[in-house]
Structure 1
Amino acid sequence: MFTPDLSTCDPPATNQEHPRQPLKTVVAASLVTGLEMFDFTVFGFFAAMIGDRFFPASDPMTSLLWAVGTFGVGFFMRPVGAMVIGTYADRVGRRAAMARTSWMMALGTATLALCPSFASIGVIAPLIIIAGRSLQGFAVGGDIGVAAAFVLEAGPASRRGYLVSWQLASQGAAALLGASLGLLITSTLSPAALASWGWRIPFVFGLLIAPVGLYVRLRLRDDAVFTNTARHARTPLTELYRDHRRTILLAMLMIMGQTVPVYAIVYFMPSYATRVMHMPVVTGFMASALSASLLVVIPPLAGRLMDRLGCRKPLALVASGCSALLVFPVFLMFSRATSVAPILCGVALFSVTMAFSAVAVTLLVLETLPVRVRASGMAVSHALSVALFGSTAQFIVTGLIKWTGDPLSAAWYVTPACCVSFCALVLFKERRVGP
């Protein structure tokens, strides 16, 4: 239940005098976050093709394992980026931090788009790919938490759910754009052209983040609440460990409930459909596109609902519990599917519950942390959760399927993750700090 902590309340918001400013802030922050997530996650959609080009092996599943392992490398740089960029945002400014993540992400994406294949330059090629993924991970690790805190502080408390929900919807839009481009490319190019150069097209498109990101973010200004608080801020990471480590730990486990299903089901679906279920590649991209569409539409609806309800935790518990109960039925549908319909249905069910849960959990964590450590706290908890659980999801699921030969074995990892997340949510105390 919501219990206000008056001793640590933030100063009253001053930006409510400018009703257009929150909208401008949300559009600018969400647009660039969506582009950055597109650059980061499109690697997962084309993991099988990237594996063949940069990690050749006699067994296609071995190449895929190397590719999804490289996909995970970027995640392990996310906590480093969260600590460095999050601390910078809490001490210097949200806007300055977000501008820097834009050009770092663009550089990492350019590395992936232009890198020659293993056949051309040998072992140097996978090393370049790993370096590009590392830079992408560093940038995204800091940006998501900083941008979410920036959006939360941009408008009135009565609209926090709706405003923050667009940050999450932008991530769904990134997945939708990636899946749509994948569907278009795989439908129009021949298999030879797709494997040779077609997979690079989304990465070239993602380079738009450099001019767009810098332009829109440099025109923003930090909120007055942050500006006043930052003058008296202590070392954010020290304060997080001393005063908020229980909150960060529970937040990591709560976020795991959305991270593992997203990466083990939604983003992995193109590779799962082709390499495991032996279906046409277009089937996997259709499932990912449907899921991403729902992850765009549902978060704003969930945000409005939470603004009306006030309390975030009850809705988060319902959504998280439904996700845990759906895992085995959904994977059973996948393993017995003979057409695209069961796959689309299962992915849609998961996407709806994940969207509601993600909005509620994000609000719970952001509102619990005080302004002076909000950006670093959200960034660190999200990045650590994604690094530990999301980065390994595709690798573990692929390994389980290869080891057992049973497509249903993927649920052995997803189910416990959702159950642990639900238990962490039960233990988390809803407490709203701030105006």
Structure 2
Amino acid sequence: MSKSDMAAQWASTARPLNRKDFKTLGLSSLGGTLEFYDFVIYALYVDLIVAPLFFPASLSEFTKELFAWGIFAAGYLIRPVGGIIMAHFGDKVGRKKMFTLSVALMALPTFIIGILPTYDAIGMLAPILLLLMRMLQGAAIGGEMPGAWVFIAEHTPKQRYGFGVGTLTSGITGGILLGFLVTIIIDMFFNKSEVLDYAWRIPFIIGGIFGIIAVYLRRFLSETPIFKELAARKALEKNIPVVSVLKNHKMSCLLVALVTWSLSTTIMVGVLITPGKILGGMYHIQPIDCRVAGCVVALTLTIGCILFGWLEDKIGTTKNMIIAWGGLAITSLLFYASLSPEMSLSSLYCHYGLFGLFTGAIATTPIVGTRAFPPSIRYSGLSFSYNLAYALFSAITPTLTLYLLNPDHILGEYYYMGAGIYIAFVAILAAFTGFWPLAKSGWQAKA
């Protein structure tokens, strides 16, 4: 890679974050907020809405549940395609243009889900259309998340890099909190019959409108200084970016894949599946209390992302990842071991909140992954490896989690620890990647 690439890697000078930086952080997080908001809504409504309304009653409950979660996972499978296409043009024509396009393509399917006819109205066309909308969302999101991280990484001063990326990630995870809050409001104002009849549509319609607003607001963002520098020096990648990624940066792809496995499993199992399937389904905690618990974990997760982003700048990658992911492994096992139908709500909220704080370890994934590639192919490298890993591991995680939570399978009488063991495993894996020189220092130009 050329010396001009090396010179452009961190174009921003050493300085504190200013008002313009925080404005960029806020506007950049809107698309990711919509992504997580939509995922929470779908995950919370899988058993209550998707399974009964979008599949024939003749199917068994377990089969409908698998199909419903399968549609959820399908959105991940298409992510690499959307991510590769958007990242290609992001490295060629600019980060901002693709960054705005991705959120526009995400808003429309979300809105359509809110007005989609159910199985009773149009038969098997209902789950097919739902699957199509999830895939369209996945394609758009494939460019959204890596684009947001690259955008902020290239806007933020080097000595505030961890804090900038961590703060952006906290804004994104704020969509989880928003999703739980909206469903709580729906439950407060509508009974179960009304929710099944029409009220379930409201959160999706709100999400679509929110996306349109995000598209408008992103007009006020400016292109990143690093991309401008590369363009001015005519140092943009001349080949197809993803080809260069596969040819020259295999170790970077592997690193991002490993930490993405940890991120995707932690969010899907610990935050999206646990409230409904584990707290409500296994321990029969009231739905409203499960949603409040979800708000608690989402709030502390958001705080944790900022905390571990800040720590990255203070103590470095290795120590930060040991504290963050090591703490997650421990609190995960403690949380799932503490669960019981008789536990008090205060105990539930405290344990889940502590678990959520260390779930903020996910902020280290984009911190490590974004700097693992040179600037000229950074968007394509991160997008390809992140989305491919997310698609793979998120496709198998719901089924694997259901398997681990079944007392007739591998864990036997310890099945109740299945989710905790899975999260602890990927957390320990992520902690070990913190010792990798590529994770600690990022891509380095050859002398």
Q: TM-score normalised to the size of structure 1? A: 0.90
How far 1:365 sits from its partner (Å)?
1.9
**Alpha-carbon distance in 2 for matches of 1:158, 1:353:** 23
Per-residue CA distance 1:124-176 (angstroms, 9 max, x = gap): 00000000000111111111001111111113112212221222111221000
Match of 1:13 among 11, 14, 23: 11
Match of 2:408 among 404, 415, 419: 404
Contact map agreement 2:155 2:225 (CA 8 A) in 1: no
How far 1:190 sits from its partner (Å)?
0.7
Cα gap change, 1:423/1:301 in structure 2, threshold over 3 Å: closer, same or farther? closer
- Residue 197 of structure 1: SS of its match in structure 2? helix
- Residue 173 of structure 2: SS of its match in structure 1? helix
Aligned residues: 429
**Alpha-carbon distance in 1 for matches of 2:407, 2:77:** 25
Alignment of 1:174-213 (within 5 A): 174-213=175-214
How far 1:332 sits from its partner (Å)?
1.7
Cα gap change, 1:7/1:312 in structure 2, threshold over 3 Å: closer, same or farther? farther
How far 1:335 sits from its partner (Å)?
4.7
The reply on whether 1:290 has 2:296 as its aligned counterpart is yes
How far 1:98 sits from its partner (Å)?
1.2
How far 1:115 sits from its partner (Å)?
0.8
Match of 2:387 among 367, 383, 387: 383
Cα gap change, 1:364/1:426 in structure 2, threshold over 3 Å: closer, same or farther? same
Partner residue in 2 for 1:431? 441
**Alpha-carbon distance in 2 for matches of 1:154, 1:410:** 37
How far 1:277 sits from its partner (Å)?
2.0
The reply on whether 1:419 has 2:419 as its aligned counterpart is no
Cα gap change, 1:411/1:165 in structure 2, threshold over 3 Å: closer, same or farther? closer
Match of 1:268 among 269, 273, 294: 273
Match of 2:357 among 352, 363, 367: 352
Per-residue CA distance 1:191-219 (angstroms, 9 max, x = gap): 11112222211101101234312212222
Moved more, 326-335 or 21-30: 326-335
- Residue 46 of structure 1: SS of its match in structure 2? helix
- Residue 155 of structure 1: SS of its match in structure 2? coil
Partner residue in 2 for 1:100? 101
Partner residue in 1 for 2:152? 151
**Alpha-carbon distance in 1 for matches of 2:245, 2:302:** 32
- Residue 404 of structure 1: SS of its match in structure 2? coil
Cα gap change, 1:388/1:428 in structure 2, threshold over 3 Å: closer, same or farther? farther
**Alpha-carbon distance in 2 for matches of 1:256, 1:176:** 22
Per-residue CA distance 1:231-264 (angstroms, 9 max, x = gap): 4313211121122111111221122223212211
**Root mean square deviation of aligned Cα:** 2.6
Partner residue in 2 for 1:368? 372
Partner residue in 2 for 1:256? 261
**Alpha-carbon distance in 1 for matches of 2:243, 2:125:** 39
Q: Which has the higher contact order (CA 8 A, sep 6+)?
A: 1
Q: Which amino acid aligns with 2:135?
A: S
Contact map agreement 2:269 2:401 (CA 8 A) in 1: yes
Same amino acid, percent of matched pairs: 24
The reply on whether 1:312 has 2:311 as its aligned counterpart is no
**Alpha-carbon distance in 1 for matches of 2:359, 2:320:** 12
Match of 1:321 among 316, 322, 326: 326
**Alpha-carbon distance in 2 for matches of 1:10, 1:156:** 14
Contact map agreement 1:313 1:360 (CA 8 A) in 2: no
**Alpha-carbon distance in 2 for matches of 1:335, 1:65:** 25
Cα gap change, 1:350/1:386 in structure 2, threshold over 3 Å: closer, same or farther? farther
How far 1:428 sits from its partner (Å)?
5.1
Moved more, 315-324 or 147-156: 315-324
Q: Which amino acid aligns with 2:43?
A: G
Partner residue in 2 for 1:214? 215
How far 1:290 sits from its partner (Å)?
0.6
Partner residue in 2 for 1:162? 163
Contact map agreement 1:317 1:426 (CA 8 A) in 2: no
Contact map agreement 1:103 1:210 (CA 8 A) in 2: yes
Q: TM-score normalised to the size of structure 2? A: 0.88
- Residue 116 of structure 1: SS of its match in structure 2? coil
Q: Which amino acid aligns with 2:110?
A: T
Cα gap change, 1:6/1:103 in structure 2, threshold over 3 Å: closer, same or farther? closer
How far 1:29 sits from its partner (Å)?
0.7
Cα gap change, 1:161/1:183 in structure 2, threshold over 3 Å: closer, same or farther? same
Contact map agreement 1:87 1:236 (CA 8 A) in 2: yes
Cα gap change, 1:239/1:201 in structure 2, threshold over 3 Å: closer, same or farther? same
**Alpha-carbon distance in 1 for matches of 2:187, 2:289:** 11
Moved more, 16-25 or 64-73: 16-25
Q: Which amino acid aligns with 2:52?
A: D
Moved more, 382-391 or 232-241: 382-391
